[in-house]
Chain A
């Protein structure tokens, strides 16, 4: 049923597009001339309509999932929520542009705990994420062992998301070395992509990442990104940092740096695309700071209630509607369909079993070699 609703919403868009084609309308060309803000609208024409619609769809899909996770938490079906509502305009383009696969010939993703948009764009299903937050035995990331948004997908090089802030910036060095090695052997190699917050960049691991990836003749194919939401839990950026932008710190190392509006999916899409191309071509790091919103506070620890801030979905929807890429009701329709889907899936997951207590000793060592000293 849920599928039919989503399919219906998408079919409406298709029908709309077809009708326009039949009528010979060329909305993209027209918009550029008509609109009061020609640069922005020109930006929209850089992607095809199906691409724009797909991006919108994935952003909504991710947001609805996050809101469902919050509801699950508030209903008492999860112990904790943390996630990425407000980071869709960064995370979705990233997920769409990743070279998805396993091993150093593909991109590695060293993500933080706000990466639902990226995973959704990569193809993660709702049920995976809901099983994770409800810590069911079926949770494919951690088997019920870890928090919401702590994803792990080896088949896509999504290495385990952890709670300790910033350590992923150090680990990316290691996968980057492996990828550089392939590149030097003229084999296909990927990029190590790392994401994280603004406050966390005060940790030494961030400096490690800049230093190790920029040593002469040893430069690493690292995409070092920062999602600057201007907060570290309750402490504002101005109390955390003296530098104007986190990205400025890359300059001392000769690293190419950028600061972009992370609430604009078109801007981020082309920034990420260009950055990845540069990294692959030159085997050098790039540091890009994306200024994003934190729309539901830090986590469930601070209530997980809707807060003020630019909403990338509302902003993008308006642009698409104004430019007549979608009808005004499109997002609402999608929203309803995804919401129904997410509710139905939570009902399924709620009925699933948690991990059995005697599995605590599983996977301490490879092949379940005995780890319990009582049994040595």
Chain B
């Protein structure tokens, strides 16, 4: 079974072979490294950019203006912040030009905590990203979704921000990508060897066309007592929490939102109507958090169907995430927090 990073690599290969991708670029994205997390190893159109995030985003915009298709990488989302005005420009290009210039670019960047990355390799960007109108924003939690969302992102004529939960990049999925070979074979085909890579060339498996439409969530576990909505790194934690609560006779429905904008409101609405209780979980900082927007909407549209106040569990409102495990774990949601919050919402009596 492919890891998420292999899935992304295969989707990018599909992009350059079949979807017209001309440039996959960013810091250390080309040979020999193929990306800080190896997402771009062996790709024909991958190249190394100067160490210049503003240059990377503005180059992507220029390529988009020229009608080329590119996937640009910001090595860690912690370093995307000095490009925010350029992201705004990419998001408003179509609108300001009154429909005359669209911006068909993909920007991908690893996000979140969970790899002991300390202050500057643990930031999140999902809440920031949802404040970039004109962009679509996605974040997978499985290799299969990563493949399907990347294919959709490349095909989309709008700018798409593809957030990679870095703690899940090496995790294998349970569902296979159609046409995916077994683990060992895949590794021998598409993982660059250690040492001299100058003569190495990837051999790409023949994968079928597989897409996950942007804007579609997924119910990963059905339940009737409470809904938990999450994405990215905290999603598998929510699934685990649901499984543990099931042992206590609690039935938790878990939604993997997958797309933050546009988001699958119909799925959230129908689920919350059924359960009457909802918890939103993500690891971006908690003040002005995207989960708050969803909780607000639930309150506005489903108020009289609720059995409990909607809650948001997010990262603490801190300037950074400390390196020591005690610090990191106290800063972002972990399994026990999620279980605890679920229990609080479940215990509330209307």
Whole-angstrom CA separation of A171 from B72 in the bound complex: 14
**B100 engages A152 (CB within 8 Å):** yes
Q: Please report the C-alpha to C-alpha distance between residue A179 and residue B65 in the assembled complex, in whole angstroms.
A: 12
CA distance A286 to B344 in the complex (A): 65
Q: Does B85 contact A (CB under 8 A)?
A: yes
On chain A, the residues within 8 Å of B64 by CB distance are: 174
Contacts of B157 in A (CB 8 A): 366-367
A326 in contact (CB, < 8 A): no
Q: Does residue A208 face the partner (Cβ distance < 8 Å to B)? A: yes
**Contact of A365 with B98 at beta-carbon distance under 8 Å, contacts A164-B85, A164-B89, A167-B85 already known:** no
**Chain B count of residues within 8 A CB distance of the other chain:** 46
Measured CB to CB, the nearest residue on chain A to B88 is A164
Q: Mark B63-75, 1 if CB is under 8 A from A, else 0.
A: 1111110000000
In the complex the two chains form, is B94's CB within 8 Å of A363's CB? yes
Contact of A173 among B58, B93, B102, B133 (CB under 8 A): B58
| Contact of B59 with A177 in the complex, beta carbons under 8 Å | yes
A178: interface (CB < 8 Å): yes
- Whether B212 sits at the interface, judged by CB under 8 Å, is no
CB pair A212–B67 under 8 Å, yes or no, is no
Report whether A170 and B96 are in contact in the complex, using a CB–CB cutoff of 8 Å.
Answer: no
List B contacts of A362 (CB < 8 A): 95, 98-99
CA A150 to CA B65, docked complex, whole Å? 16
* Neighbouring A residues of B50 by C-beta, 8 Å: 208, 211-212, 215
User: Which residues 158-186 in A have Cβ within 8 Å of B in the complex?
Assistant: 159-160, 162, 164, 167, 169-179, 181
Q: Mark B46-79, 1 if CB is under 8 A from A, else 0.
A: 0001101011011111111111100000000000
Contacts of A232 in B (CB 8 A): none
Asked if B266 is at the interface of the complex by the 8 Å CB criterion, the answer is yes
Known A211-B50, A364-B134; judge A173-B97 contact (CB<8 A).
Answer: no
Judging by beta carbons under 8 Å apart, are B60 and A363 in contact?
no
Q: Is the CB of B98 within 8 A of A175?
A: no
User: Which residue of A103, A179, A181, A365 contacts B94 across the interface (Cβ within 8 Å)?
Assistant: A365
**How many whole Å from A326's CB to the nearest CB in chain B?**
39
- Give the distance to chain B from A221, nearest Cβ to Cβ, in Å: 12
| Bound-state Cα–Cα, A59 to B96, Å | 28
Q: Interface size class for chain A?
A: 35 or more
Given the complex, which residues of A lie within 8 Å of B23, measured CB to CB? Answer: 177
A141 within 8 A of B: yes
CB contacts (< 8 Å) of A364 on chain B: these are 94-95, 133-134
Q: Report yes or no: A176 in contact with B158, Cβ–Cβ below 8 A.
A: no
Taking a contact as CB atoms under 8 Å apart, the answer to whether A373 and B263 are in contact is yes
Which residue on chain B has the smallest CB distance to residue A137? Answer: B98
Query: Residue B118 at the A interface, CB < 8 A?
Result: no
| Cα separation A152 to B101 with both chains bound (whole Å) | 9
Q: Which of B54, B60, B95, B266 has the most CB of A within 10 A?
A: B95
A329 → chain B closest CB, angstroms: 42
Q: Cβ of A38 < 8 Å from any Cβ of B? A: no
- The answer for the CA separation of A164 and B92 in the assembled complex, in Å, is 13
List A179-225 residues whose CB lies under 8 Å from chain B.
Answer: 179, 181, 192, 204-205, 208, 211-212, 215
By the criterion CB–CB under 8 Å, are B96 and A171 in contact? no
Do B265 and A376 touch across chains, with their CB atoms under 8 A apart? yes
Inter-chain CA distance A103–B54, complex, in Å, is 24
Contact A174 B98 (CB under 8 A): no
Closest to A368 in B: B99
Binary interface profile of B, 181-215, with partner A (CB < 8 Å = 1, else 0)? 00000000000000000000000000000000001
Identify which of residues 233-252 in chain A touch chain B, using a CB-to-CB cut-off of 8 Å: none
Residue of B nearest to A359 (CB): B98
Contacts of A160 on B, CB cut-off 8 Å? 93, 96-97, 100-101
**Contacts known (A170-B58, A177-B23, A364-B134); A159 close to B266, Cβ less than 8 A:** no
Q: Is A228 part of the binding interface, using a Cβ–Cβ cutoff of 8 Å?
A: no
* A174-B58 contact, Cβ under 8 Å, with A162-B89, A167-B86, A208-B52: yes
Q: Report Cα–Cα, A298/B138, bound state, in Å.
A: 42
Nearest B residue to A172, CB-CB: B62
11 A-B pairs with C-beta separation under 8 A:
A142-B97, A154-B100, A160-B96, A174-B61, A174-B68, A178-B67, A208-B55, A212-B49, A363-B94, A369-B158, A376-B266
B interface vs A, CB < 8 Å? 22-23, 49-50, 52, 54-55, 57-68, 85-86, 89, 93-102, 133-134, 136, 157-158, 215, 261-266, 293, 297
Given contacts A169-B58, A171-B59, 7 further A-B contacts (CB under 8 A): A174-B61, A178-B62, A204-B52, A215-B50, A365-B94, A371-B133, A371-B134
